[in-house]
Amino acid sequence: MMHLLIGTAGGRMANDVRHELRLADIKKIEGMRNHTRATMRKLFVELRGEVIIFDDTEAQCEIIGGFLDQATLDYRRDVCDDLLFAWWFGRAFREMAGKSCHWAILDRRWLPEPDTVPQ
């Protein structure tokens, strides 16, 4: 799930912006077809609890923070799998992503099928 969120955000992952993904689009991905609001909630809870430790060797300090700042599950149209998931990456993750070429490489290597992730 973490890679899906990062891949969806793409080059905007270091920006302090809202990212979105619909359950219907998630279900198009092989291995994720059986997800529901309840299973997605569990995944977002786990990701919200993930701790990021980034050693900024240039500044000679370690940054400790979270992967996600906040996530929302908009279930107003739950009956037709039109749940909208939105998330904001945590400040520590955004800073790490902005300073690291690792995430740029991951972003280029993890390319979902064009019809599986909305633009």
- Which residues are within 8 A (CB) of 11 and not within 5 positions of it... i.e. 6 or more apart? 107
Residue 6 CA to residue 92 CA, distance in Å, equals 14
- Which residues are within 8 A (CB) of 66 and not within 5 positions of it... i.e. 6 or more apart? 48, 49, 50, 51, 52, 90, 92, 93
Residue position matching structure tokens 């979105």: 20
pLDDT per residue of the chain (119 residues) written in tens, 0 to 9 = 998 999 999 889 999 999 999 999 999 999 999 998 999 999 999 999 999 888 888 889 998 999 999 999 999 876 666 799 999 999 999 988 888 766 555 444 444 554 544 44
Q: Please report, for residues 29, 73, 95, the alpha-carbon distance to residue 62 in angstroms, rounded to integers and kept in the order given.
A: 36, 32, 12
| pLDDT score at 103 | 53
Q: Please report, for residues 19, 20, 25, 65, 108, the alpha-carbon distance to residue 119 in angstroms, rounded to integers and kept in the order given.
A: 10, 9, 11, 28, 15
